A = this chain, B = another copy of it.
Amino acid sequence: MVDHLELDKVAPFLIKLFEIVSSPASDNLVCWSEHGESFKIVDRTKFAQDVLPFYFKHDNLRSFIRQLNIYGFQRCQNSSGRDRTMEFFHPMFTRNGMRNLKDIKRGNQSKKNDTVEDGVDEVEQPQAKRPRVDYSTFKTDVARLQKNLEEFEHDLKQHTLQVQQKLAYILSALDDTPGAVQQPPADSEQRGSSPELSAGALL
């Protein structure tokens, strides 16, 4: 497990964007949405003034949004319509999905392979109507979340294993020096030994 993230393959804008959104320091101006599937700009003007110039060479909200669009982000209408906050979304840009950053590509190369049969010529048809919701994306979403969750679990297992080993080692070392340690700090609430992580015993 060297580098799942492959940050060097990710566009600088996306790295910065992830930092901006994730940084707790600016959570009052920009932050992840409740479920971490989108992010929102709470205060446009302050965000543009205080955050943007720290990461980019401008303090222009339009330029920032232009970049978002270039990378395929979409603005989502927050339920409370009269809200001044802006909310943006990209299927591969999620709080727990830093791994998927490398799948976000620049430019509008997203909507190419929809149908395959019209092998004749690709005349730009007016395409009068756009369908409401593209349900096909749900499949992708499910698969992506599933994959993330599994990798997350795997990582956690590895992590837990390491901690376990180290703790066991340290404790055994402490056993050899009696009198040093009295009693382990009783879990005041007895939180169930360890959180119940999936079905497998992780601790």
Contact = CB atoms under 8 A, between A and B. Distances in A.
Given A149-B149, A180-B176, A180-B177, A4 B195 contact: yes
Interface stretch (A41-49, A51-59, A67-75, A166-174): A166-174
Nearest to A176: B180
Interface string A1-40: 1111100000000000011001010000000000111000
Interface string A145-172: 1101110111110111011011101110
Given A96-B149, A142-B145, A195-B155, A180 B173 contact: yes
Interface stretch (A77-85, A107-115, A116-124, A185-193): A185-193
B150 A149 contact: no
B166 A185 contact: yes
Total copies of the chain: 2
A96 B135 contact: no
A152 B5 contact: no
Contacts of A98: 196, 198-199
Contact of A163 (B4, B96, B146, B163): B163
